[in-house]
Amino acid sequence: MNWLKEGLLLAPWPQEIEQTGQDWRLPPQLTIGVPVGASAETRFAANWLAEDLYRLAGVDAAVREGAGEISLALGAATGHAEGYTLEVTPQGAAIVGDDEAGLAHGCQTLAQLAASEARGTVPGARVRDWPQYALRAVMLDVGRAPHPRALLERSIRIMARLKLNALHLHLHDDELNGVRYATLPLGSENPGALPIAEYGELIRYARRYHVHIIPELEAWGHVSSLVYHYPQTYGATGEFGQSFGFGEATYDLLERMFAEWVPLLGEPAILHVGLDEADAAVLADVPPERRDEYTPVTHIQRLYDILQRLGAAHGKRIEMHLWADHGGRPIPEALKAEVVTEPWMYHVVGAERIRQYVAKYGGEGKTPFMMGAGASFVHEQGAFAATRVWCREAKGAPNCRGVTICIWGSNDVGGRLVSVFAGADYAWSPETPEDPANDPREERLRGDMVRRMKYWQARFPDADPAAIDADRGPEAQMGRWRWGALAGQPCGPTADWESGPAR
Give domain limits for the chain: 3-129, 138-185+208-229+268-278+326-499
Among 245, 217, 219, CA closest to 231: 245
Q: Which amino acid is at 205?
A: Y
- pTM over 0.85? The answer is yes
- pLDDT by 10s per residue, the chain, length 503: 444 446 789 999 999 999 999 999 999 999 999 999 999 999 999 999 999 999 999 999 999 999 999 999 999 999 999 999 999 999 999 999 999 999 999 999 999 999 987 789 999 999 999 999 999 999 999 999 999 999 999 999 999 999 999 999 999 999 999 999 999 999 999 999 999 999 999 999 999 999 999 999 999 999 999 999 999 999 999 888 899 999 999 999 999 999 999 999 999 999 999 999 999 999 999 999 999 999 999 999 999 999 999 999 999 999 999 999 877 788 999 999 999 999 999 999 889 999 999 999 999 999 999 999 999 999 999 999 999 999 999 999 999 999 999 999 999 999 999 999 999 999 999 998 788 889 988 899 999 999 999 999 999 999 999 999 999 999 999 999 999 999 999 999 998 755 444 44
Q: Are 404 and 418 in contact (CB under 8 A)?
A: no
- Domain 138-185+208-229+268-278+326-499: give its CATH code: 3.20.20
Residues 186-232: tens digit of each pLDDT: 999 999 999 999 999 999 999 999 999 999 999 999 999 999 999 99
Q: What distance in Å separates the CA atoms of residue 136 and residue 429, rounded to the nearest whole number?
A: 11
First vs last C-alpha separation in the chain: 59
Q: What distance in Å separates the CA atoms of residue 350 and residue 393, rounded to the nearest whole number?
A: 13
16-19 vs 125-129, strand pairing mode = antiparallel
Q: CA quadruple 19, 20, 25, 27: dihedral positive or negative? A: negative
pLDDT at 118: 79
- Domain 3-129: give its CATH code: 3.30.379.10
Q: What distance in Å separates the CA atoms of residue 447 and residue 407, rounded to the nearest whole number?
A: 20
Q: What distance in Å separates the CA atoms of residue 412 and residue 468, rounded to the nearest whole number?
A: 9
Number of H helices, E strands in the chain: 12, 23
Residues 358-396: tens digit of each pLDDT: 999 999 999 999 999 999 999 999 999 999 999 999 999
CA 151 to chain centre: 14
Q: What distance in Å separates the CA atoms of residue 135 and residue 143, rounded to the nearest whole number?
A: 22
Among 292, 362, 284, CA closest to 328: 362
Among 254, 252, 269, CA closest to 207: 269
pLDDT at 4: 46
DSSP state of 193: P
Classify 501 as helix, strand or coil: coil
pLDDT at 117: 76
Q: What angle do CA 62, 115, 99 make, to 5 degrees?
A: 60
212-216 vs 166-170, strand pairing mode = parallel
CA distances from 260 to 2, 181, 216, 319, 482 (A): 47, 8, 13, 16, 32
**What is the DSSP secondary-structure string of 233-248?**
GEEEEETTEEEEPBSH
Q: What distance in Å separates the CA atoms of residue 392 and residue 383, rounded to the nearest whole number?
A: 16
When the pLDDT of each residue in the chain is averaged and rounded to a whole number, the result is: 95
pLDDT at 497: 55
Ramachandran angles phi, psi of 190, nearest 5° = -105, 110
Q: Which amino acid is at 16?
A: E
Q: What distance in Å separates the CA atoms of residue 78 and residue 102, rounded to the nearest whole number?
A: 10
